Each structure stands twice: as C-alpha cells, then as structure tokens.
C-alpha cells in the first residue's frame, strides 16, 4: 500500500515538474516571438530578440513579465507602440501611409516585368520585320571571286557532302 502511495506521489511530482518546464519553454518562445516583431531602439535595424543591448534585454524581461501577468501578445505590442510609436514595429501594419510599404514593392516589380516584356517583344519584332532588301548583301567583285584553285576545293567539298547525305 505504501509503495503505491509513494509511486503516486512521485508520478504527480514528476508530472507537475515537467508541466512547469513546458510552460517555461512556451513562455520563452512567446517572449522571443513578440521580441522578434519589435525594433530595438538602440541598435540599427535589429529586433529586440536579436539585439544584445541592455535596453533590449530590459524589454525582453518586461515582455516576459507581461506574459506571466496574462496579457496577450497584441496588448504587449500595443503597449510598446504607445510608448515608442509605430516605428518600434519591424513590419508596420498595412493601413494609412504604411499601406504604401506593402503595396508599392509588388507594383514596382510587376511594372518592371511589364517594361522588360515589352522591350523584349519590341526587340523580337524588329528582328523579324527587317525586309530582305534591307539586309546587307555581299556582292562579289572580281577581286573577291574565287580563284581556279579555290573552285577545285569547293567542288571537292560539294562532292563529299553529296556522298555523306
């Protein structure tokens, strides 16, 4: 009987210990996820999660405290936006002037693709539309006409080609 009680107590203690470890791991993951969305005010273009500055470490600790207090990631993000402004967000919300950050790059990319496509189409059309009379023709002058010796080699080449076919 005592063995069963001891085993039951050990199982409960082990289960409770692993639960606290699991919740600590998820708390760290949540802290890292929120910190990765915030810009470090000290470092140039680094997130709070990636920065090694003292302020970034303090911000991470504050995020962890707010998560432990039960605040949602949206509330925590809103807190930092109210304190530092929307600049603190690494990816701004798509509204107002910030919408340009989300819309303009794909528009420029599509516009560039259209321009390149039209240029290629125009280039191909120019190549195809050249009339034969505009093509340069090499006229044979007496100076460039083949000599008798060259004619002999040309005839030999023709015969070999006919035999090959």
Q: What is the CATH number of the domain that holds 80?
A: 1.10.8.640
Residues 160-165 have a mean pLDDT of 84
Is 17 inside any structural domain? Answer: no
- Would you state the structure tokens that stand for residue 155, as one six-digit string? 């005839």
What pLDDT sits at residue 133? 62
Would 5 be classed as within a structural domain?
Answer: no
| 43 contacts 35 by C-beta, under 8 angstroms | no
Number of structural domains the chain divides into: 2
pTM: 0.48
Residues 83 and 103 occupy one common structural domain: no
Which range is least confidently modeled, 6-20, 59-73, 83-97, 121-135? 6-20
For residue 31, is it within any domain?
yes
Residue 142 reports pLDDT greater than 60: no
Question: What would the pLDDT profile of 64-110 be if each residue is shown by its tens digit?
Answer: 999 999 999 999 999 999 998 888 888 777 677 767 777 888 889 99
Among 91, 115, 147, give the residue marking a domain's end. 91
Average pLDDT, the chain: 79
Q: What percentage of the chain exceeds 90 in pLDDT?
A: 24
Does residue 77 share a domain with residue 61?
A: yes
Classify residue 80: in a domain, yes or no.
yes
Q: Please indicate, yes or no, whether residues 68 and 105 belong to a single structural domain of this protein.
A: no
pLDDT at 20: 47
Give CA torsion, residues 84, 88, 89, 93, to 10 deg.
50
Query: Is pLDDT at 130 greater than 80 in this prediction?
Result: no
- Are 56 and 73 part of one and the same domain? yes
The boundaries of the domain holding residue 112 are 94-127
| pLDDT at 17 (0 to 100) | 45
From residue 143, alpha-carbon distances to 42, 140, 147 in Å are 80, 8, 9
Residue 7 lies in a domain: no
Domain membership flag for residue 9: no
- Is residue 33 located within the same domain as residue 82? yes
Please check whether residues 77 and 104 belong to one and the same domain: no
């Amino acid at each position: 009987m005592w063995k069963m009680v001891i085993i039951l107590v050990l199982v409960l203690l082990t289960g409770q210990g692993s639960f606290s470890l699991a919740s600590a791991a998820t708390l760290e993951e949540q802290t890292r996820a929120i910190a990765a969305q915030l810009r470090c005010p000290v470092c140039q273009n680094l997130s709070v999660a990636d920065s090694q500055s003292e302020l970034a470490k303090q911000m991470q600790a504050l995020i962890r405290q707010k998560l432990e207090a039960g605040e949602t990631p949206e509330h925590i993000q809103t807190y930092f936006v109210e304190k530092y402004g929307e600049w603190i967000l690494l990816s701004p919300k798509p509204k107002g002037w910030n919408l340009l950050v989300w819309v303009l790059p794909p528009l420029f990319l599509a516009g560039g693709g259209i321009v390149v496509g039209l240029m290629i189409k125009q280039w191909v059309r120019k190549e195809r539309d050249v009339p034969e009379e505009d093509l340069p023709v090499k006229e044979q002058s007496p100076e460039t006409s083949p000599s008798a010796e060259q004619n002999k080699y040309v005839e030999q080449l023709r015969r070999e080609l006919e035999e090959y076919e």
